[in-house]
Amino acid sequence: MTDLTKLTISQATTGLKNKDFSAVELTTSYINQMEKTDNLNAYITKTTDNALSQAKIADNNIASGNMRPMEGMPIAHKDLLCTKGVKTTAGSKMLDNFTPDYESTVSQKLAESGCISLGKLNLDQFAMGSNGQSSFYGGTKNPWGNDLVAGGSSSGSACAVSARSAIASTGTDTGGSIRQPSAFCGVAGIRPTYGRCSRWGVVAYASSLDQVGPIGKDVRDCAIMLSNMSGHDEKDSTSANIPVPDFEAVLTGDVKGLKIGIPKEYYIDDMPQEIAKIWDNGKKMLVEAGAEIVDVSLPHTKYALPAYYIIACAEASSNLSRYDGVRYGHRVSGKELDEMYELTRSEGFGEEVKRRILMGTYVLSAGFYDAYYIKAQKVRRLVANDFKKAFESVDALLTPITPSPAFKIGENQEDPVKMYLNDVFSVTLNMAGLPGMSVPVGLSDSGLPLGLQIIGKAFDEETVLKASYALEKQAKFDATPNI
């Protein structure tokens, strides 16, 4: 039998239908791969016994002709999605012993579609980071090199798919946390439009920016995942009440007549030559597929990154105020209530989380609210307006997704600003609430994966996926890590 962990979701589904193998065999293959790649630290919690029980149910459903859309698919969830009866930590000491008695809407939808959960995946604490190294449970390593970061914050989500220890995964994207690690690990990942997937049951970082999305081996797997995890949720007031298309159906490879915009502001100073080269190659690939390249301008792009960090940190400061040692989570006793708060939050939060809480509290404080937070919100509107104007003349945008390939563990660690600059290409669409997808298209000079990003109009994931699929077909990226 071939290595089942090399199959995509669509291939594995066909194999199960044809009874080439069973869901138990498929799940067992992934469990074995989880153990083989345990050194990468992609998982915080493994639920293998429960996964095998679910696989037996999947086999019974297939045998009785009741096969669901993703029956028997062994996936894993970023440990930011609450899972009933399974520890949900947000990669933090603060929630080290938190076991929810409820299920997030997205993980529930995927379970109802037939998915099997292998466990919970590693991440930067409370999804705050770009390298996957701030987790209380230790950093995630990149399958392409044990000395390389896997990206962040969805480090385990991208690592697990790249290392074939999950067929697909869920992630969250606040400023690039699905797309950046996907690019670093050589897999595909899409950040849907804000409101496309419910945020109910997802530990909050920055509520107006967070969005759940899928990471898969290819564009088709992401489309299948997205179709089964999207939809209106009455429990989430920001969830959009609009129909969910069949995202897989748009993957025809035909982009004839599609206009793809190239924003001139993304040509940043000191852009590495290999990033500029892969971007130029991406344009040529889409032209060969039948698309038309159009130059566009997003004039407020240079202000997006600082405005993003003001807004994200302000919302983090507010959201994380609930972790006080009183109601749930980590607690350190003190002589008085104030001392208990101080000791609990000092010990329960990591350095990066504390840094962002302090920044957020500062910009929300009296005397600075208007100068920083309100001004950042005005910039956010200008950034959104730039996209709106650009989409009057184009159907989608093509940009780089990272300013470099995966970097060494420990690099930039002592310079937070340098680390924040890793998000320079990704945060703009989060500010505007737009969908964007990272597609692996080539290798760097050092043999590491490089991705490009397709950005679309709000709730037009169909065009994003269509263009991404055409780019993927042209790129023919088939490199894999040596694991």
Q: Which two tokens stand for residue 440?
A: 């692996």
Our measurement of the distance from residue 19's CA atom to the centroid of its chain's CA atoms, rounded to an integer in Å, reads 32
Which residue reads 């003001």 in tokens? Answer: 310
380-409 pLDDT, tens digit per residue, is 999 999 999 999 999 999 999 999 999 999
395-448 pLDDT, tens digit per residue, is 999 999 999 999 999 987 777 777 887 899 999 999 999 999 999 999 999 999
- Give the model's pLDDT for residue 346: 97
What is the CATH architecture assignment of 4-260+394-475?
Answer: Alpha-Beta Complex (3.90)
Residues 6+ away with beta carbon under 8 Å from 437: 179, 188, 189, 190, 191, 219, 222, 453, 454, 464, 465, 468
17-52 pLDDT, tens digit per residue, is 999 999 999 999 999 999 999 999 999 999 999 999
- Give the model's pLDDT for residue 16: 98
Please identify every residue annotated as catalytic: 78, 153, 177
- Give the model's pLDDT for residue 420: 81
242-265 pLDDT, tens digit per residue, is 999 999 999 999 999 999 999 999
70-111 pLDDT, tens digit per residue, is 999 999 999 999 999 999 999 999 999 999 999 999 999 999
263-284 pLDDT, tens digit per residue, is 999 999 889 999 999 999 999 9
- Give the model's pLDDT for residue 1: 58
Please give the Cα distance from 57 to 77 (Å, whole number). Answer: 20
Q: Which two tokens stand for residue 17?
A: 């239908």
Q: Where are the domains of the chain?
A: 4-260+394-475
Is residue 137 within 8 Å of residue 95, measured between CB atoms? Answer: no
- Give the model's pLDDT for residue 68: 98
Q: Lowest-confidence range among 7-11, 144-148, 232-236, 266-270? A: 266-270
Residue 442's H or E segment, with its range, is strand 436-443
Query: Taking the model in full, what pTM does it have?
Result: 0.97
